Chains A and B, each alone.
Chain A
Amino acid sequence: MKVVANSSLCQGHARCEDLCPEVFATDAIEGKVVIEKPDFPAELEEKVRLAVRNCPEGALRIAKGVAL
């Protein structure tokens, strides 16, 4: 599984970084999401899902299966 961000929707709430810093960070210029580990390990799935569901802009999603 892979997590992807639509950076044009991201407004820098940084909830993803708060909830799952293992996968998400924010940049130093606009504070927008940076996905440091798009192919996250299975043990982080629950945390990643929580981060995705907590994005107020709906900018994150989990893509299954084949490479994008």
Chain B
Amino acid sequence: MTFQWQPSSPDHVPADLIVDFDFFDVPAEVTDPVQIWHDLVRRGAPPIFYTPRNGGHWVFLKYHDIVEGYRNHEVFSTYQTPIPPIEPFPVMQPQGVDPPQHDVFRKLLAPMFTPLAVRRMTEGLQHRAHVLISSFAGSGKCDFVADYASIFPTGTFLELFGMPEERLPEFLELAHTFFRSTDAEVRAANLRDIYAVLDGMFRAKRDYPGSDIASTIVTALDEQGRPYPWQDILNCGFLLFVAGLDTVTNTMTYVWRYLATTPAARAHFRERLDDPSAFLVAIEELMRINAVSNLFRRVTHDCDFRGVHLRRNDRVILPNTVANRDPSVFENPQSIDLDRKVNNHVTFGVGPHRCMGSHLAKREIVVSLQEWLRVIPEFELAPEAEAGSSFGGSVMGFTSLKLLW
């Protein structure tokens, strides 16, 4: 896209650090949205640069700078960070709060998402995957996004929150609008709808608690033995809704797209269905190469970072896909090595805000892939899917992925 005009940049940004880059804009000829990030590196963009697009923000391109952005919350805050700026934005608990306040909800949620807790969910996930895959396996085709990747994590969310399966269409609709609508009025109404649903759910769980995550959150007591503020409880539910749906949907879609086009990779996983350790190593590599989310931070005070002057309230985007293919950290970073030995990718972030749902997300993908390959060992892209239909933004992905077998 060519712009006829250039929005002005703030006066603390030197001209040689300005690059015109819009991370929502995926040109029609680009079939994979991660490419727009790698093109920046290929074109020789400065490792830290400023783009006037989307309200103006910084972009970090080096692994170690991105990691520092995640770890150093005294400079890079997670509070009120959206790009383009939306104020006020719901303060997601605990993602949108810096340490030490962040620790309160982190500690409350953590036990429900540990590897141990996730292992206990495995049977339920296997059942969900099996039922869903069986529903279309016989037809020899599907749209992976619509028929599987968007349904599976939403169904998982409902189950974890102790909500009946019948509400799936309603939650799918809420999630779809949240992640896809660009209309400001529709988005505002959607936010109100999501909060209304969360409010109803938490009220019901407060009155009749069960053993689910929503009940645990709503019945928890602080150190003084009081319930947490209602708004914090809603914000916590909002985070879990937002964080666990689209990210899993899009990562799955990337993974299946790769497998559909790579027979050797399908064989690699099929041969390791009964070798959990090797299966996990290969999945980790797919997590590295298919990092779908890029997180935001906000600069807390005027400072110099790696020789660049940052000003208080400047926004920064940390593109995980770029960090994960930094040649100073990863050998042959652009190639997929399903036996890669050392793989310190940042797909789930690092530091105090590391994605708490990462173990659940990975388990959803592992279980789905195992069940899928048992029922549908060979599959390919439908001819009309070659071009893909993708979108950029903070979470990148595909609107559709037609598969055949």
Contacts and interface: CB of A to CB of B under 8 A. Distances in A.
Interface string A44-59: 0000001001111100
Nearest to B276: A18
Interface in B351-379: 351-352, 354, 356, 358-359
B350 A28 contact: no
Interface in A20-43: 26-31
Interface residues of A, number: 20
A19 interface: yes
Interface residues of B, number: 26
Interface stretch (B153-161, B166-174, B339-347): B339-347
B348 A31 contact: no
Do most interface residues of chain A lie in helix, strand or loop, or is the interface mixed? loop
B72 interface: no
B117 interface: yes
Contacts of B356: 12
A23 to B, nearest CB: 13
A3 interface: no
A28 B111 contact: yes
Contacts of B345: 56
Contacts of B346: 56
A54 B110 contact: no
Contacts of B350: 11, 13, 56-57
B111 A12 contact: no
Given A17-B115, A27-B114, 15 more contacts: A11-B350, A12-B110, A13-B348, A13-B358, A18-B280, A18-B284, A27-B116, A28-B116, A28-B117, A31-B110, A54-B343, A54-B344, A55-B344, A56-B345, A56-B350
Interface of A: 11-15, 17-19, 26-31, 50, 53-57
